[in-house]
Amino acid sequence: MKTAIVHAGLHKTGTTSIQGSLANYKDKHTIYADLGRPNHSIVLKTLFHPPNLFKHWANLGLSPAEHRELVDHYRLKLNEQLQQKHSRILFSGEEISTLDPESLDRMKSHFKEQGRDIEIFVFVREPLSMTASIIQEMVKWGDLLHNESTDNEPVNYLFSERVGNLLQIFGKEKTHICYYEDALSSKYPRGVIDYFAELLGIEPEKLPSARSTNQSINGTSFKLLNQFFQTDIVHNKGPMLQAARWTFIQMLNDAVKTGKDDKVSSTAVRSKVNWDDYRKLNSLLDRPYEIDCHQASTAEPFSRYCNDIDHAEVCKNLMKYFEQHAIPAPADCNTHELVSLLFYQALREHAVNQGSTTPIQSHTQSQRNKLRFNIPRKLAQKLNRLKQ
């Protein structure tokens, strides 16, 4: 029987780089599946997660008839790929690891009906760096909103359950658990790309480097975003604002960059690690992670780390950024007001990039957004002073 190699995550283990590098790959025996995008998560979850992610698609505006049409389209596309002549076809999607056992079993049965036996590859990662990376991603989406009231709440991603489900359905022989840390060896110049190529028996030089679309942010940006997304700014309303968010995050990251080692602290996240989950995960691993020594260390409240901001330096760097980019900014703004101004500038730039043909049109769009997002009166007064 032919083989389907399924790279199932986990999240924050280089999945985007792997997908970007493998997209369009083809040799005599192996081909990367073309399901419309390099990340196959949404197609496979729609097909095998009950009831075909109907609620997800309904929230995006699809009618029941359109949803059925989409499912049929995805099924046809998948079957076309599974029927290809190549003896080995590759799939990758970090969300595959979130499927429950019944959904994974449906996927396994369907692939078998199409003549493909599934082999799973799943990456795990050391608890502190994994939790720091996940928390960073949550803050970028405005989902963490951390303060003192959540200091004792761990980030719960149920890694042991995800890996356990894969082992349950596909068995230990067909489930390859890989360690993210192994890919960081100097043996692999491009990290997970070269490491995964070696695992698959593909010559690394045949894979292009992938441009990362999910860049890390520095520690100062992380703290500022965590505070900013807890304000009255409506930061997640509509597709336009969703896209403008990434422009804003990149601008903020560039503005407050100091050249110092300013990464999000992995040691600061001790209180956010789900240690019980990692103990369960360790029971599934041939090389368990050291966790007792990390957990035993005194963990400061995570909110203290989030609030440790040098506001004077941040304001200086933001004003310098505004000056370099010819963005008007009142001299007497506080940190939050300057970050808000940067946010509105990102909205304006996004309006230009999305087809507003003149600066006047983009300015009008940004003015509407300022009203829509209830721009603070104090900041509005300062902006008005600049026009006088």
125-159 confidence digits (pLDDT tens): 999 999 999 988 888 877 766 667 777 788 888 99
Higher pLDDT, 259 or 318: 318
Domain with CATH 3.40.50 in the chain: 2-125+158-206
Contacts of 329 (CB under 8 A, 6+ apart): 318, 319, 322, 338, 341, 386
Structure token pair of residue 318: 């933001």
Contacts of 218 (CB under 8 A, 6+ apart): 253, 256, 257, 258, 262, 263, 264
Q: Which residues pair with residue 30 across a beta bridge? A: 88
Residue tagged 């422009």 (tokens): 247
Q: What is the pLDDT of residues 229-241, one digit of tens each?
A: 777 554 445 555 6
pLDDT given for residue 359 in this prediction: 40
The amino acid present at 237, given as its one-letter code, is: K
Q: What is the pLDDT of residues 191-216, one digit of tens each?
A: 999 999 999 999 999 999 876 656 77
Q: Is the pLDDT of residue 388 over 70?
A: no
pTM for the full predicted model: 0.82
In whole angstroms, what is the distance from residue 251 CA to residue 277 CA? Answer: 36
Q: What is the pLDDT of residues 5-53, one digit of tens each?
A: 999 999 999 999 999 999 999 999 999 999 999 999 999 999 999 999 9
The amino acid present at 199, given as its one-letter code, is: L
Q: Is the pLDDT of residue 104 over 60?
A: yes
Structure token pair of residue 183: 């890919």
Decide if 351 contacts 365 (C-beta within 8 A).
yes
Quickly count: other Cβ atoms within 10 Å of residue 323's Cβ. 11
In whole angstroms, what is the distance from residue 333 CA to residue 336 CA? Answer: 8
In whole angstroms, what is the distance from residue 122 CA to residue 126 CA? Answer: 14
Q: Is the pLDDT of residue 178 over 90?
A: yes
Share of the chain above pLDDT 90, in %: 58
| CATH architecture, domain 2-125+158-206 | 3-Layer(aba) Sandwich (3.40)
Backbone angles phi, psi at 180, to 5 degrees: -55, -35
Q: Is the pLDDT of residue 364 over 70?
A: no
pLDDT given for residue 381 in this prediction: 61
Categorize the per-residue pLDDT at 372 as very low, low, confident or very high, splitting at 50, 70 and 90: very low
Quickly count: other Cβ atoms within 10 Å of residue 243's Cβ. 14
Categorize the per-residue pLDDT at 286 as very low, low, confident or very high, splitting at 50, 70 and 90: very high
pLDDT given for residue 2 in this prediction: 97
Backbone angles phi, psi at 262, to 5 degrees: -120, 50
Q: Is the pLDDT of residue 220 over 80?
A: yes
Categorize the per-residue pLDDT at 378 as very low, low, confident or very high, splitting at 50, 70 and 90: low
Of 370, 252, 289, the C-alpha closest to 124 is: 289
Q: Is the pLDDT of residue 60 over 90?
A: no
What mean pLDDT value characterizes the chain? 86
pLDDT given for residue 316 in this prediction: 94
pLDDT given for residue 155 in this prediction: 86
Cα–Cα separations (whole angstroms), residue 106 to 5, 60, 110, 217, 250: 16, 25, 6, 38, 40
Rank 88-92, 244-248, 272-276, 368-372 by mean pLDDT and report only the highest.
88-92
Q: Is the pLDDT of residue 242 over 50?
A: yes
- Helices assigned H by DSSP within 141-264: 159-174, 192-200, 219-228, 239-255
Q: Is the pLDDT of residue 223 over 50?
A: yes
In whole angstroms, what is the distance from residue 44 CA to residue 272 CA? Answer: 31
Categorize the per-residue pLDDT at 297 as very low, low, confident or very high, splitting at 50, 70 and 90: low
